Homo-oligomer: A and B are copies of this chain.
Amino acid sequence: MTDSTRTRARGADKRRRLMAAAAQVLHEQGVERTTIADIAEAAGVPVGNVYYYFKTKDELVLAALSEHAGHLAELTAELDRLPDPRARLKAMVEAWVSRRDVAARYGCPTGTLAVELDKRAEGGLDVEAGRVVRLLLDWSERQFRELGLPDADDLALTFVGAYQGMSLLASALREPEIMSRQGARLTRWLDSLGDAPA
Q: Could you tell me which A residues sit within 8 Å of B by CB distance?
A: 28-33, 105-107, 111-112, 114-116, 118-120, 126, 129-130, 133-134, 137, 154, 157-158, 160-166, 168-169, 171-174, 178, 181-182, 185
Contacts and interface: CB of A to CB of B under 8 A. Distances in A.
A173 B133 contact: yes
A128 to B, nearest CB: 11
A8 to B, nearest CB: 15
Minimum-distance CB pairs A-B, first 9: A161-B165, A32-B32, A165-B165, A114-B172, A30-B119, A164-B165, A133-B172, A164-B168, A115-B115
Nearest to A162: B165
Chain A interface, DSSP helix/strand/loop, else mixed: helix
20 contacts: A29-B119, A31-B32, A33-B119, A106-B118, A107-B118, A114-B171, A115-B171, A116-B116, A130-B172, A130-B173, A134-B173, A154-B181, A154-B185, A157-B178, A158-B185, A160-B165, A161-B165, A162-B162, A162-B165, A165-B165
Nearest to A108: B168
Contacts of A163: 165
A134 B175 CA distance: 12
Contact of A107 (B115, B169, B181): B115
Contacts of A29: 119-120
Most B-side CB within 10 Å, residue of A29, A162, A164, A165: A165
